[in-house]
């Protein structure tokens, strides 16, 4: 199908939820993609921080195909080896005690928020159910996670929202004000992705950790976007010198297949019992086999390379005309520009570079396997557009 036909059918049959760039991506290798017309692009987006080994990665493909050759789905009424292998790996690498698998980031967060309420209910009884989330956060599109998303623009049309959610600026005084007496959990992204790639400060996160422990409030780290090697460590919270009580992740975890994971650390380990939560597709064996490949390859050596690539790109970007600030952490890069970020992204696309935006910022979240040649090619297009 050529692009015009795809576009026509899309506008005729698909729900009108997406403002799309005028491109249909059909294939590629690593961070070099091709569209339906054969035009090539350097990929600085990896979907949205999803394809962490880029397109067509041989070892990842082999892991997926091997599992496809066995069985594609197993009901959670039965045991499944790919799930336990992945859960053991995730717990081994993080110190978490248990994992619940779902299919997306929103679902992973829904699970975390429900678990926090259950934890508090069992210990303190009804009413201690408040969730505090941060202003400018993004936690998903289900009604609970949308409520927990601290951006007014998401809070139109769909009310009434889930009661018992408050919003705070990333300052301890404001968290304490928002929390009141009946809070069971605070949910944060160490690096806020959707609202412009903003890293929280270390003093705030460590003070928050201390306060949460003191008040038996669960600290939930949403690592859906900033996790899985993206920031140069397996999970971003590691760079803050803290350990969460619950951590959620998704996007890059299975390298491009749908998965979500909610990790329970010691304090929250027994929040759920049989029947409390579930998912038909959660922990799909193909997704889990893909994620085993991903986590297995995010070794310390690989993560050092990510740090090196991040330092290289950040240094170059700082020197570009029209760049006012470079934000975020590792290969999760925000650019504050003099020009309109959406116009810049559109101009980059025209010249063969895929970049994302996040609010007013340009967002760069390339495959972690991006090569120096691909980085240089993409950076030179961006420099030309900005100049």
Q: Which residues sit at the interface with ligand PLP, rule CB under 6 A?
A: 104-106, 109, 138-140, 189, 193-194, 222, 224-225, 250-251
Q: In the bound complex, what is the minimum distance in angstroms from residue 49's beta carbon to ligand PLP? A: 7
Closer residue to ligand PLP (CB): 51 or 109: 109
DSSP run (H or E) holding 326? strand 323-329
- Which residue do the tokens 């259950």 mark? 118
What is the rounded CA–CA span in Å between residue 172 and residue 153?
25
DSSP run (H or E) holding 114? helix 105-124
Q: In the bound complex, what is the minimum distance in angstroms from residue 320's beta carbon to ligand PLP? A: 26
Q: In the bound complex, what is the minimum distance in angstroms from residue 256's beta carbon to ligand PLP? A: 12
Q: In the bound complex, what is the minimum distance in angstroms from residue 269's beta carbon to ligand PLP? A: 23
Q: What tokens appear for 347 in the block?
A: 């101009």
Closer residue to ligand PLP (CB): 82 or 193: 193
CA trace torsion 75, 80, 83, 89 (10° rounding):
170
Closer residue to ligand PLP (CB): 208 or 323: 208
Residue 374 DSSP label = H
Closer residue to ligand PLP (CB): 106 or 229: 106
Residue 99 DSSP label = E
Q: What tokens appear for 283 in the block?
A: 């922990």
Q: Is 232 helix (H, G, I), strand (E, B) or coil?
A: coil
What are residue 43's DSSP bridge partners?
354
Which residue minimizes CB distance to ligand PLP? 105
Q: In the bound complex, what is the minimum distance in angstroms from residue 138's beta carbon to ligand PLP? A: 5
Closer residue to ligand PLP (CB): 140 or 244: 140
Closer residue to ligand PLP (CB): 48 or 172: 48
Q: In the bound complex, what is the minimum distance in angstroms from residue 128's beta carbon to ligand PLP? A: 24
What is the rounded CA–CA span in Å between residue 42 and residue 82?
33
């Amino acid at each position: 199908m050529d692009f015009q036909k795809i576009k026509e059918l899309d506008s005729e049959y698909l729900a009108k939820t997406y403002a799309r760039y005028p491109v249909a991506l059909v294939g590629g290798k690593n961070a070099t993609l091709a569209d339906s017309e054969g035009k090539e692009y350097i990929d600085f987006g990896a979907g949205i921080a999803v394809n962490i080994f880029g397109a067509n990665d041989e070892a990842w493909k082999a892991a997926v195909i091997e599992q496809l050759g066995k069985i594609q789905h197993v009901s959670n009424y039965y045991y499944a080896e790919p799930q336990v292998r992945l859960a053991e790996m995730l717990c081994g690498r993080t110190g978490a005690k248990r994992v619940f698998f779902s299919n997306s980031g929103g679902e992973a967060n829904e699970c975390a928020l429900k678990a926090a309420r259950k934890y508090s209910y069992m210990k303190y009884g009804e009413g201690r159910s408040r969730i505090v989330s941060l202003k400018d956060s993004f936690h998903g599109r289900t009604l609970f996670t949308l409520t927990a998303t601290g951006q007014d623009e998401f809070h139109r049309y769909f009310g009434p929202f889930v009661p018992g959610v408050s919003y705070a600026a990333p300052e301890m005084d404001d968290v304490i004000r928002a929390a009141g007496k009946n809070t069971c959990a605070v949910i944060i992204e160490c690096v806020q992705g959707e609202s412009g790639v903003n890293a929280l400060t270390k003093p705030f996160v460590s003070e928050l950790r201390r306060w949460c422990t003191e008040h038996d409030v669960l600290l939930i780290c949403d690592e859906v976007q900033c996790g899985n090697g993206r920031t140069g460590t397996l999970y971003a919270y590691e760079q803050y010198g803290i350990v969460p009580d619950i951590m959620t992740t998704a996007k890059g975890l299975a390298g491009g297949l749908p998965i979500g994971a909610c990790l329970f650390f010691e304090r929250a380990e027994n929040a759920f019992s049989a029947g409390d939560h579930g998912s038909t597709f959660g922990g799909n064996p193909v997704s889990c086999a893909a994620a085993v490949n991903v986590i297995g390859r995010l070794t310390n050596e690989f993560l050092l390379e990510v740090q090196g690539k991040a330092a290289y790109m950040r240094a170059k970007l700082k020197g570009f005309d029209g760049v006012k600030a470079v934000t975020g952490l590792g290969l999760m890069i925000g650019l504050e520009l003099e020009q309109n970020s959406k116009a810049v992204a559109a101009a980059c696309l025209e010249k063969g570079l895929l970049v994302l935006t996040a609010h007013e910022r340009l967002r760069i979240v390339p495959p972690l396997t991006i090569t120096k040649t691909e980085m240089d090619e993409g950076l030179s297009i961006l420099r030309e557009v900005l100049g």
